[in-house]
Amino acid sequence: MTTTTDLLSTEPAAPPPLGGVGFARWCWRQLTSMRVALILLFLLAIAAIPGSVLPQRGTDPIRVSDWIEGNPTWGPILDRLGFFDVYAAPWFAAVYLLLFVSVIGCVLPRTRLHWRALRSAPPAAPRRLDRMPEHRTWDSTASADVILDRAYDDLKARRWRVARGDGWVSAEKGYWRETGNLLFHAALIALLIAVGYGALFGWRGNVIVREGSGFSDTLTQYDAWGGGRLVDPASLPPFAFTLDDFRVEFERGDAQRGAPRLFEADLTLWPAPGDPAEPVVVRVNEPLSVDGAKVFLVGHGYAPVLRLTDALGRVVHDEGVVFLPQDGNLTSTGVLKAPDATPSIGIEGLFLPTAAVDDVRGPHSTFPEADDPAVFLSAWAGDLGLDSGVPQSVYALDTEGMTQLGIEALRPGDSWALPGGNGTVEFVGLTRWASFQIAHDPGKEPALISAMVALAGLMMSLFIQRRRVWVRASASASGATVVSVAGLARSDEADLAPEVDAVVVALNEGSGKA
């Protein structure tokens, strides 16, 4: 029996339990809401930051190893969390897939509702048009049917969707706004698919090639290579090329001194085994395209030719050594390792295209062209550590356990007798090298098209305004026709006054106005 105390109780009743189906429906509604989609998009942007800041194992495994070794505390922790392989990490894939599902779940219901709106007539005119933000009312000498016919024809001629009822005309315009909104979201879905497809089936690698040397598109030829999870390295296109000549010219005027003005490489290309050779030129922003892969020219530097003779009189090295630029004037560092020499020799070098030495900066280059080249060498003897099983960079020398033989500066043609009768080093001459990035990204073109479509849809949703106009006409007790025109916008920024005034002008043409 219900008592008065029960009726007067102010405690809210407990909500009924959701149950499994209800909880799943609630989760789905939360996931497909705009708020959650924006949060996931923000999280995806944050999750991509480590992939840009930290070296990635797929593109530069040596730098990853060096980073972890140089940060013994945080390195292993970040490695276990997948920060050195971000785009393949489970947490990045989870955010990516959740955003994908969220956008799809948001777009599909809205597409269904928009399709129904496109097929339905504009809504009937409200009874009280004077409650609308923009409205006009006046008495006319024309009959109600004439007014409504004139309103229908005028709005139809101005490409409004028009419906007519008993004593009213309804018109609506701006359906392309929602179409653009849906197009933007659909293009975003396509963009996510294209990026995912490119990540799975795309690959890219970097290689440094000296003048006179060649490259074959096999995994072992790359200095660094990274491929998608579904890429078979054995399926790389079997092309090859040699770097015949590399040309670069630098600005010598005061304005932008040292900036490259010419930057191109002459290659001899073999598109496939057995194909005839083809001369090609690769420039910056003008890559070579061959069998679905693109060869980009991304960098250049010098490779001083060093001839190393060991203590037994054997020439153990006689070719260019790649030196990596350290500044805009191509002050460069490089390493020569000769494990077959007697004894094993390691040389660290500093190459200066236009050499200068002062008390503040020490040896440095004053211009990137080889106007006055010199190389400063530091020679070491001992175990190079190549048999330890630990991977080493070809551009760094581990001098632990080695003995320094001396330091010397050489000009082209000079030679240096290593102390202790350990051999000689001669600076024979100078060649150049060029670095190439070779990439295959099957998702790039679909991603570009999707981005363009998304931009078009966004512009449509921003600049097209959804609005409605209604006209009512009825006879008054005095015999005149009372005409009411009103407008309603679906967004706050729309200016309805010109639209309503245009209808008023059209209705009063050829008729009197009391």
Residues 6+ away with beta carbon under 8 Å from 48:
86, 87, 92
- Reference 316, options 324, 329, 326, 307; nearest CA is 307
Three-class SS string for 254-295? CCCCCCEEEEEEEEEEECCCCCCCEEEEEECCECEEECCEEE
Is residue 419 over pLDDT 50? Answer: yes
pLDDT for 59-99, tens place per residue? 666 678 778 888 888 988 998 988 888 877 888 888 888 88
370 or 513, greater pLDDT: 370
Give the pLDDT of residue 508. Answer: 86
Peptide bond into 343 cis (omega under 30): yes
Rounded mean pLDDT of 220-224? 87
Looking at residue 492, what is its pLDDT? 65
**Which stretch, 85-99, 217-231, 306-320, has highest mean pLDDT?**
306-320
Across 186-200, 286-300, 491-505, least confident range:
491-505
What DSSP designation does 444 have? H
Cβ atoms within 10 Å, residue 385:
19
Q: Is the pLDDT of residue 427 over 80?
A: yes
- Say yes or no to pLDDT of 245 above 90: yes
Looking at domain 123-174+466-508, its CATH class is alpha beta
Give tens-digit pLDDT for 9-64.
555 555 566 677 888 888 888 888 878 888 888 898 898 888 888 887 766 666 78
User: What confidence score (pLDDT) does residue 512 get?
Assistant: 47
Least confident of 68-82, 214-228, 386-400, 430-444: 386-400
For the chain, give every domain's residue range. Answer: 22-114, 123-174+466-508, 203-251+260-440
Mean pLDDT of 295-321: 94
Q: What is the pLDDT of residue 195?
A: 85
Mean model confidence pLDDT for the chain = 87
Compute the distance between CA of residue 152 and CA of residue 160 in angstroms, rounded to an integer: 9
- Taking residues 354-372, report their average pLDDT: 91
Distance of alpha carbon 498 from the chain centroid: 43
| Residues 129 and 135: beta-carbon distance below 8 Å | yes
Q: When comparing pLDDT for 416 and 44, which is higher?
A: 416
pLDDT surpassing 90 at residue 226: no
- Residue 6: the pLDDT is 53
Q: How confident is the model at residue 172 (pLDDT cuts 50, 70, 90)?
A: very high
Rounded CA separation 203/441 (Å): 7
Q: Indicate whether 315 pLDDT > 50.
A: yes
- Average pLDDT of the segment spanning 119-132: 89
Percentage of the chain beyond pLDDT 90 is: 47
Weakest-pLDDT range from 49-53, 431-435, 445-449 = 49-53
Task: Give the model's confidence band at 514: pLDDT under 50 very low, under 70 low, under 90 confident, else very high.
Answer: very low
421 burial level (CB within 10 Å; 0-12, 13-18, 19+): exposed
> How does strand 288-290 pair with strand 293-309?
antiparallel
Three-class SS of 157-206: HCCCEEEEECCEEEEEECHHHHHHHHHHHHHHHHHHHHHHHHHHHCEEEE
Q: Is the pLDDT of residue 188 over 80?
A: yes
Give the model confidence (pLDDT) of 328-349 as tens digits. 899 999 999 999 999 999 999 9
Confidence tier at 244 by pLDDT (50, 70, 90) = very high
Evaluate if residue 128 carries a pLDDT over 50: yes
User: What are 371-407's pLDDT values in tens digits?
Assistant: 999 999 999 999 888 776 667 778 888 888 899 999 9
Provide mean pLDDT across the span 487-504.
Answer: 82
State residue 302's pLDDT score: 95
- What is the percent of the chain where pLDDT is above 70? 93
- Between 416 and 36, the more confident residue is 416
**pLDDT above 90: residue 412:** yes
pLDDT at 148: 93
